[in-house]
Each structure stands twice: as structure tokens, then as C-alpha cells.
Amino acid sequence: MASNVYIEYLRNYKKNEWSTVINGTVIDLRAALTNSIMLFKNAVAIVPTGIKLSVPQGYEMRICPAPGFSTSTGVLLVNASDAILDGVTKEVTVSLLTIINNGVPITPGQKIAQLKLSKVPAVPFLECRNVEKELDVE
């Protein structure tokens, strides 16, 4: 498998309108909505991002909060940080939960999360009787 991440923009969304590649390892994710939605306390919304992508073998992508998003809105990511392992994804979605009483609008194109690409080393898990002894730690 290639070491490239291929991004497919869905539903005629334009490049950089719904996601922005910040550098070679981080992608901003935006709400790919046609209309704003309102989140109310303890409500969960699964928000589409308008992209699907491939993750090269030996890598993973993690959905993480966008800087400042939670503190400015009171909206949290459910299952943060959620891992996407190698292969081709369905549309990337972000699960949001608000913890404040009044409604929080999520608007079309609003930055809601980031995807971070990282290499996953192939390290075997080995069963043992005593971890300290295996590592020669006293």
C-alpha cells in the first residue's frame, strides 16, 4: 500500500472549504452541513465532515479536539481521541456533546476537530510472569 493519504471530497464539497491540511500530519475537520444545527445539554450529534480518506498501512489517524473549540463552545468530542486505522474509511464523522444548558449552534464549515496522522510501530505484545524481571528492573 502507498504511503500517501488520499482525500475524497464528498457531495461536491470544494477542497479547503470543509477540511484544511495544516501540514503533512494534521487536517482541520469542518462541519459539512447544509444548515446549522443546535446542540442542547447532554445531546450528542454525529456531524459529517464531507471527506473520506485512506490511511496507509502502519499509520493511524486520530480525531482530536480542535484547539480552543471546547473551551469556547462548551462542546466536547465523544470518544476523543478516536483512532482510524489503516485502510479506506467511510465518511469521517465527529461525535459532539455539549455540557452547557443553552443551545450551541454548529454552523456549516465550522472547524470542529482535527485529524492527526501518526506512524504506528509494529511491536509485539509478549506475555510474561513478571514485567520487572523481563526488563531487569529491581
pLDDT value at residue 105: 92
Confidence of residue 35 (pLDDT cuts 50, 70, 90): very high
CATH of domain 7-134: 2.70.40.10
Query: How far apart, in whole angstroms, are the C-alpha atoms of residue 61 and residue 133?
Result: 35
Query: How far apart, in whole angstroms, are the C-alpha atoms of residue 88 and residue 101?
Result: 38
Cα dihedral 86, 18, 113, 94, rounded to 10, equals: -70
* pLDDT, tens digit, 9 for 90 and up, residues 21-31: 666 678 888 89
List Cα–Cα distances, 99 to 11, 31, 34, 84, 112, in angstroms: 31, 19, 24, 26, 15
Q: DSSP code of 94? A: E
Whether this prediction's pTM lies above 0.95 is answered by no
